[in-house]
A and B are shown apart, each in its own frame.
Chain A
Amino acid sequence: GAGVSQTPSNKVTEKGKYVELRCDPISGHTALYWYRQSLGQGPEFLIYFQGTGAADDSGLPNDRFFAVRPEGSVSTLKIQRTERGDSAVYLCASSLDSNYGYTFGSGTRLTVV
């Protein structure tokens, strides 16, 4: 596609539920990144994929968070047992490789009630 697509754009879930957030990167972009942005803050790094593998997952806050990219294209960020503190905008970005600038998606606004 022309840009990075993230779905859903908004997600409201109850505390304790499981959620999946999807990112469809620009075709041919091998590098994919997930960031989390809280209100009034800059994005914080979560995880980086080069192809199918998670090259750096040092930003995942705990083991409730997991991400996959099985075919080296679409990625899914999975959050188990959601907590109210997980509420934020989750941003996905892709680039040709790690030496190029990013294109961000519009994000998924997650609200845990």
Chain B
Amino acid sequence: TQLLEQSPQFLSIQEGENLTVYCNSSSVFSSLQWYRQEPGEGPVLLVTVVTGGEVKKLKRLTFQFGDARKDSSLHITAAQTGDTGLYLCAGDDSSNTGKLIFGQGTTLQVKP
């Protein structure tokens, strides 16, 4: 069974601080996605990484896919209150159906 473990599960920081969220597995994934979800809404796709060692940047967010394609990280520089939300990583399972396996999520609270 493929599982994704996210850490930390909850993070509360002050505006302007940096943070990193980790997503780990013992399984290899062909691709990995990061989503952000706000209360009462569905997850919104931030990025997809497909190549081992790949780094993608989205403004203040930096996403990295591990060399072995078993883990990923999301780093936010100079967090803003608007970054508050639930961050989810999701791996493409091996069935080639587009089915995703999600981590349990990291709840980020950025205080002014």
Chain A residues with a Cβ under 8 A of chain B: 4, 31, 33, 35, 40-45, 48, 50, 55-56, 59, 91, 93, 95, 97-107
A42 touches B104 (CB 8 A): yes
Would you call A105 and B99 a contact (CB within 8 A)?
no
Tell me the chain B residues, 56-112 only, with Cβ under 8 Å from chain A: 88, 90, 95-105
Q: Are A101 and B45 in contact (CB under 8 A)?
A: yes
Q: Would you list the 5 A-B pairs with minimal beta carbon distance, nearest first? A: A104-B42, A98-B98, A42-B102, A101-B45, A42-B105
Which residues of B are at the interface with A, using a C-beta cutoff of 8 A? Answer: 4, 6, 33, 40-45, 48, 88, 90, 95-105
Are A42 and B88 CB-contacts (below 8 A) given A93-B42, A102-B45, A106-B41? Answer: yes
A31 to chain B: which residues have CB within 8 Å? 98
Give the distance in Å from the alpha carbon of A100 to the alpha carbon of B40 in the complex. 24
Complex CA–CA separation, A42 to B106 (angstroms): 9
Task: State the CA gap A31–B98 with chains docked (Å).
Answer: 9
Cβ–Cβ < 8 Å partners of B98 in chain A: 31, 33, 48, 95, 97-100, 102
State the Cβ distance, A61 to closest chain B Cβ, in Å: 16
The residues of A that contact B88 with a CB separation of less than 8 Å are 42-43
Q: Is B40 in contact with A98, judged by CB distance below 8 angstroms?
A: no
- Taking CB as reference atom, which chain A residue is nearest B4? A42
Known contacts A42-B104, A43-B102; A98 and B43 CB within 8 A of each other: no
Closest-CB distance, A89 to chain B (whole angstroms): 9
CA of A4 to CA of B43, assembled, Å: 12
- Return chain B residues, CB-CB under 8 Å to A56: 95, 97, 99
- Bound: A43/B88 CA distance, A: 9
Task: Establish whether residues A106 and B42, one from each chain, have CB atoms under 8 Å apart when the complex forms.
Answer: yes
Cα distance A103–B4 in the bound complex, in angstroms: 21
- List 10 interface pairs A-B (beta carbons < 8 Å), by A numbering: A41-B105, A43-B43, A43-B88, A45-B100, A50-B97, A59-B99, A93-B42, A95-B98, A101-B48, A103-B45
